Amino acid sequence: PAEMNKLRQAHVALQGDLNALLPALQQPLNIDDWQQHCAQLRDEHAWRYDHPGDAIYAPLLLKQLSDRKPADCIVTTDVGQHQMWAAQHIVHTRPENFITSSGLGTMGFGLPAAVGAQVARPNDTVVCISGDGSFMMNVQELGTVKRKQLPLKIVLLDNQRLGMVRQWQQLFFQERYSETTLTDNPDFLMLASAFGIPGQHITHKDQVEAALDTMLNSDGPYLLHVSIDELENVWPLVPPGASNSEMLEKLS
């Protein structure tokens, strides 16, 4: 009894013989009201993709990728804004088809994770979603991709920034930007070409659909370099110290 509600207040605290408790937990719960509440929230906070202008809007691109990818496609991510967008806008048939380091914040995780996924499931499509900051953390793994002839695909969202850090500096640190500008990035297509990996660079949203089709239909490894707005933010966002009911919302 001393352990009950010791650190966290339980909504339902159970104490008793496991032989009696566990069978009781197997009884189905009536969650109709909760499901209805969730459906209402989804309607009230539906994703919007009507982004103005000709620039590529990352959430829309990832939705278009989601609509095109094979059902058993594995998606890996690095860390940053692209990671959040991928989690929000790509739908998976199985939870294990989405591989990310989540809150561990491991920049450089996406490409080697994609390598491992492709080796483990050689007959399935593997797509690595990365950002220009994270990609440079483990770019040498392109050598492994080439050496092992792994047909994985890379979608590189390039805003020439450490986007998530820049976003927080903008919103919560009075736009005091520090160590987030990456305007001296290498030519990513030339970098991939040095490893014998073909690719394409796109800059306008009317190029997206054809570029995704080309990438997904390619036989070997492929790099799709996507230039996006350097000031695009991820929404919604819960400010530091706030609750989930106080999140910031804009187009995303």
pLDDT at 197 over 60: yes
Q: What confidence tens digit (pLDDT) does each residue in 58-71 have? A: 999 999 999 999 99
The per-residue pLDDT for 162 is: 95
pLDDT at residue 1 is higher than 80? no
Helix (H, G, I), strand (E, B) or coil at 225: strand
Per-residue pLDDT at 224: 99
Q: What is the mean pLDDT of residues 226-230?
A: 97
Q: Cα angle at 66 between 131 and 161, to 5 degrees?
A: 15
CA distance 215 to 154: 9
* pLDDT at residue 252 greater than cutoff 70: no
The predicted model scores a pTM of 0.88
Nearest to 157 by CA among 75, 229, 236, 65: 229
pLDDT at residue number 96 = 96
Degrees, nearest 5: CA angle 109-111-117: 95
Write the pLDDT tens digit of every residue in 110-119.
Answer: 999 999 999 9
Domains and CATH numbers, the chain: 52-227 (3.40.50.970)
pLDDT tens profile 13-35 = 888 899 988 888 888 888 999 99
- Provide CB contacts within 8 A for 212, sequence distance 6+: 61, 64, 65, 68, 224
> Confidence class of residue 3 from pLDDT cuts 50, 70 and 90?
confident
pLDDT for residue 245: 85
Quote the tokens at residue 240: 């530091």
> If you average pLDDT over each of 13-27, 44-58, 199-213, 227-241, which comes out highest?
199-213
Mean pLDDT for the chain overall:
95
Which of the pair, 214 or 244, is modelled with greater confidence? 214
